Amino acid sequence: MMQEIKEETLEHYFSVTKKALETVKIAPPQNSHLRSIAEDFLNMARSYFSDAQYFRKKGDYVRALGAVYYAHAWLDAGARLGLFDVGDDHELFTLAR
């Protein structure tokens, strides 16, 4: 069982989540009630990603990995619910088929 998180592992998940954050576009129109929900999901993802960066700088790789996982989970959930337009990207996002 792995007892430590390696820098390479952390770098991989940071890279994937950063790319996902750059890819998402809010899908609902400005006047839709779903727009504020989409904005909230994106804000949560950005906040967790920021937390992950903070923990990484502090050398707390366990919390950094947890936070980056949460960030990506918010993006996946938003994409799957149709709050984000991510095209047909099944590599960065867990989309329904």
**The model's pTM:** 0.92
The pLDDT value recorded for residue 29 is 97
Q: With beta carbons less than 8 A apart as the criterion, state whether 15 and 88 touch.
A: no
- Given pLDDT bands bounded at 50, 70 and 90, which one contains residue 51? very high
Interval 10-34 mean pLDDT: 97
| SS3 state at 59 | coil
User: What is the pLDDT averaged over residues 21-42?
Assistant: 97
Question: Would you say domain 7-85 falls under CATH 3.40.718.10?
Answer: no
